Chains A and B, each alone.
Chain A
Amino acid sequence: MRNPTATRLLFEMSESGRGTVVFPESDVPDVSGVPVPGVEHLAAGLLPLPELAEPDVVRHFVNLSTLNMSVDSHFYPLGSCTMKYNPKRHERLARLPQAVASHPYQQESQIQGLLSVLYELQGMLAEISGLPGVSLHPAAGAQGELTALLTAAAYFRHRGEQRTRVLFPASAHGTNPASAALAGFECVQLSGGRDGFVDLSELRAQLDERAAVFMVTNPNTLGLFEKDIATIAAMLHEVGGLVYIDGANMNAILGRTRPGDFGGDMMHYNVHKTFTGPHGAGGPGAGPIAVRDFLAPFLPAPVVTFDAARNWYSLMVPEHSIGRMRTFFGNVGILLRGYCYIRTLGGRGLREASDCAVLNANYLLSQVRDFLDVPHGNRCMHEFVASAKRLKEQTGVTAMDIAKRLLDYGFHAPTVYFPLVVEEALMMEPTETESLATLDAFAAALRQICSEPAELVKGAPHSTAVCRPDEVNAARKPVLCWSAEC
């Protein structure tokens, strides 16, 4: 049961002079032989941080945590985010001493075990993608995109080609155009066909020697497998361009098909999604990329190599590497969780996970399509996008209203208003780690909501601690930091 006094802001709980003592007295004598920082460098006094007692801090965060919905506590069908169960075993294994306490500048001889795991993971990700060159370096999916685009750019530069354009469909994640712009490319958005697929004639009209990369999510953000992906890839390759697969939806196709087999030249994985690193209230992720062999010499540094003759793992900079995208090796803590997941499922288990993810999504689709429109067909991969457009026209109830009302029924909301190509979009991804009973209960709640009085739904949520924060005013006069005056 929630304790509201414990969720006052930390700053309001502070008592100056509390005098927390955390650390021991110094055990070294003062010395005089080394230079001392001048007064111009020294702090004026004690920092204005709150002074709290540990029991209060514990009660505070325990109570705050109860204000969240999470995978551990609720069904969380947030489309595109693959909110599957996060196995507890991974948390313990990721805390093994060499994983948790190794410093990035440690001698290689001391981290052979860790490097062997990372090397093995590189090979696993190459096999799962069908793309042999793997870099575990990127910090998250969006950084994987940027890394791959810069890798492609270095490849083109090496060949003396000046390619300036990155293309993507309107249904793309926002990170695709944002990454392309950050990499200095001109962004070309394709509107796509009415059926939700890439329109081949539209694509063809945009393809020439300026085309660098076509970025496409497959299955796409409507939950459909791009049926013409092989043709699309051939079209790109014909003009000398490359195909980038946004791997956000890999959970649909593990062991069924591989980006490298359907024409992709590069891709990123979202380890925190597909391989169930926990989402951590917004991160961290890990965004390894996999590329074709001719792109591998351009991958960012460092990669793990193995010298079988010496039985020795080491870090290596590829021949024409684009350089670093971040400090140190990568998000090892998350990569290791992904490794544990792949090891415990094996090839067959990964395929079964995808099979069940697709089965669950199709089942949920079958249970909602008689009361909610699903504009792009009766079948899907691991997720689908419903539309509340008709309901909105009839009763005024929007996708956002439905999302908020679902919270009252104890379900986290689907992704709403994405992809942009569907009006009043509700994007649902149940994942494979949910039972039939949960899916039935969720579908029943949705059905109920669609027939509830509009004012009840528009007033939702009714059961949460707050209801519909004023975002407009928040943006107009941002309050981003507590101060004693406010």
Chain B
Amino acid sequence: MAYLFDTPEQRQRMLAAIGAASVDELFQQIPVSLQLGRELALPGAVSELELEQDLQRRLGQAGGGGVCFLGGGVYDHYIPAVVDELTSRGEFYTAYTPYQAEASQGTLQAFYEYQTLISQLSGMEVSNASLYEGGTAVSEAVFMAMRVNGRDGRVVVAGSLHPEYRQVLRTYFSRLGTEIVEVPAVDGVVSVESCRAALTAETTAVVLQQPNFFGCLEDIGGLTAAAHAAGALAILAFDPISPGLLKRPGDYGVDIAVAEGQPLGTPLQFGGPLLGVFTCRSEYVRKMPGRLIGRTVDRRGRECFVLNLQAREQHIRRDKATSNICTNQGLLALRATVFLSVVGPRGLRQMAELSHAKARYAAERLTSLPGVVLKFERAFFREFVLETPRPATEVLRLLSDRGFNVGPELSRFGGSLGAGLERCFLVALTEKRTRAEIDALVSALGDVLGS
């Protein structure tokens, strides 16, 4: 066996020390009637070489070789080589939760730096050390809002929030009495008036997204003020690249800000593992979910880092914990830390500006095709909804045949984004897309629509 190395003789010595005649005897704790009594019916063991050959054959081609214009929550951003190089150090990726501070100062300091970088990025006072991904971060934010203001009757959710985030929220709350009220987006955004109309004295929070799922920019300031006027918290899901160009959640005065942190140095990986970014006002810190790293001193007064405020967590507080999360997304948080360190404020501004400029160029060129329009005539950041004369599923399939991966189509999410969107799909741009690729997409779409 590849990962075992005791010889038969050594095993006999071990059994003798234990006082057992055989390994089978050690399993006598398991009643005979419950023992499997046969080998598991799995494919036979293969060597590293055979496995690599098999997987090369099955996974060796990325996305049919197409160019990625896909959006909807995760994006094909550039990842500097140094991110993979540093985070693949075994001292990081084969360690676990830093329970023993003295044996984990590397991890602890890196996560303290992560928390600080995320605070700087979001304009929020405190960040935790990560949650699973953006969707669960939204649900955790709503649970936290309930702990903060003691209201549990209603949560108001923007109809422009990622439909999968809303689905997660509905699942998480499926056994609880809290009413989830969705405020439909009209012409791509949620109006302050309709949000205000949905708020009650029992509403714990309003959940918003900026840029929203359609890529459009919302009036977060106005919506936050409406939430606050009703005594509710404002929860904002933000795009972690957008602060390079746009206001940060903290600039709008929101109470909790979450994000899907994937664009910060994590590859797409078919949507997982990802990075749940979670931030809030410092006054709520004791109500936060997830791990927190704190700075302190040791016995000899040396500065160091520890897991802090663990009394909130499940391993101490059990059924009264602020969340059930244990294993988080440490390695992805480390990727974000290295990513932000090497990209810096100027690099992030470049990423945001390039993505924005290319999205604007793509939008203008694509809408020059006959019958192709922006569904919403509104400002966007790096993605937008395009409407064409043909069903979106058909258009996207034909584009993928031509080497362009575009979407998702809005009909994929049922009616959750509104009616009459069958001919609409998202187009997302990052700094990686070149003018030549955009121009080629335009001619491919023209080709598809003309055929």
Contacts and interface: CB of A to CB of B under 8 A. Distances in A.
Contacts of A372: none
Given A139-B136, A282-B97, A381-B29, A481 B345 contact: no
Given A64-B109, A100-B269, 5 more contacts: A51-B346, A71-B94, A282-B97, A467-B299, A475-B308
Contact of A327 (B62, B162, B333): B162
B66 A110 contact: yes
A422 interface: no
Interface residues on B, range: 35 or more
B332 A284 contact: yes
Interface string B306-350: 101111011111111101111111111110001011111111111
A97 interface: yes
B4 A280 contact: no
Given A69-B95, A478-B308, A328 B270 contact: yes
Given A49-B120, A114-B270, A127-B41, A67 B106 contact: yes
B256 interface: no
Given A22-B80, A282-B97, A329-B270, A346 B45 contact: yes
Contacts of B361: 28-29, 31
Contacts of A435: 5-6
Interface in B1-40: 1-6, 10-11, 13-15, 17-20, 23, 26-27, 29-31, 33-36, 39-40
B231 interface: no
Contacts of A345: 1, 45
Considering the complex of A and B, which 10 residue pairs feature the smallest CB-CB distances, nearest first? A328-B271, A72-B90, A282-B330, A280-B331, A104-B271, A346-B45, A347-B40, A97-B62, A284-B273, A113-B58
B98 to A, nearest CB: 7
Interface in B39-60: 39-48, 51-52, 55-60
A418 to B, nearest CB: 7
A251 B245 CA distance: 49
B185 to A, nearest CB: 16
A283 B105 contact: no
A85 B311 contact: no
B438 interface: yes
Contacts of B47: 344
A70 B36 CA distance: 34
Given A67-B109, A98-B61, A181-B319, A33 B341 contact: no
A96 B330 CA distance: 22
Contacts of A465: 102, 105, 302, 304
B164 interface: yes
Nearest to B62: A97
Nearest to B260: A327
B320 A181 contact: yes
A471 B27 CA distance: 42
A41 B405 contact: no
Contact of A332 (B45, B272, B333, B381): B272
B200 interface: no
B246 interface: yes
B379 A41 contact: yes
8 contacts: A7-B109, A93-B51, A102-B270, A334-B272, A342-B42, A413-B99, A465-B302, A486-B295
A135 interface: no
A445 interface: no
A403 B348 contact: no
A142 interface: yes
A324 B29 contact: no
Interface string A1-43: 0000001011100000011111100111111111111101111
Contact of A475 (B273, B311, B345, B357): B311
A323 to B, nearest CB: 4
B363 interface: yes
A466 B347 contact: no
Nearest to A378: B19
A99 interface: yes
A127 B344 contact: no
B292 to A, nearest CB: 6
A407 B101 CA distance: 11
B293 interface: yes
B43 A256 contact: no
Nearest to A49: B345
Interface stretch (A200-208, A224-232, A385-393): A224-232
Contacts of A353: 1, 3-4
Nearest to A335: B272
A143 B45 contact: no
Nearest to B272: A331
A68 B52 contact: no
A101 B5 CA distance: 36
Which of B13, B99, B343 has the most chain A CB atoms inside 10 A of its CB? B99
Given A31-B360, A282-B327, A359-B26, A70 B90 contact: yes
Contacts, number: 686
Contacts of B112: 9, 480, 482
B268 A102 contact: yes
B431 interface: yes
Contacts of A480: 112, 115, 126-127, 282, 285, 292-295, 308
A98 B58 contact: yes
A140 B268 contact: no
A333 B168 CA distance: 21
Contacts of A19: 346
Nearest to A112: B58
Contact of B11 (A10, A279, A349, A359): A359
B314 A142 contact: yes
B194 interface: no
Contacts of A78: 96, 99
B26 A262 contact: no
Nearest to A349: B45
A110 B63 contact: yes
B109 A103 contact: no
A210 B60 CA distance: 52
Contacts of B33: 230
Contacts of A447: none
Given A178-B323, A356-B6, A22 B343 contact: yes
Contacts of B86: 57-58, 61-62, 65
Contacts of A30: 357, 360
B104 A68 contact: yes
Interface in A62-96: 62, 64-74, 76, 78, 81, 83-87, 89, 91-93, 96
Contacts of B44: 346-347
A349 B44 CA distance: 9
Contacts of B308: 471, 474-475, 478, 480
Contact of B269 (A73, A99, A113, A285): A99
B379 A362 contact: no
B334 A281 contact: yes
A34 B104 CA distance: 51
A117 B44 CA distance: 16
A307 interface: no
Given A331-B272, A331-B273, A475-B311, A280 B330 contact: yes
A18 B327 CA distance: 37
Interface stretch (A182-190, A235-243, A289-297): A182-190
Given A333-B269, A353-B3, A11 B63 contact: no
A70 B95 CA distance: 4
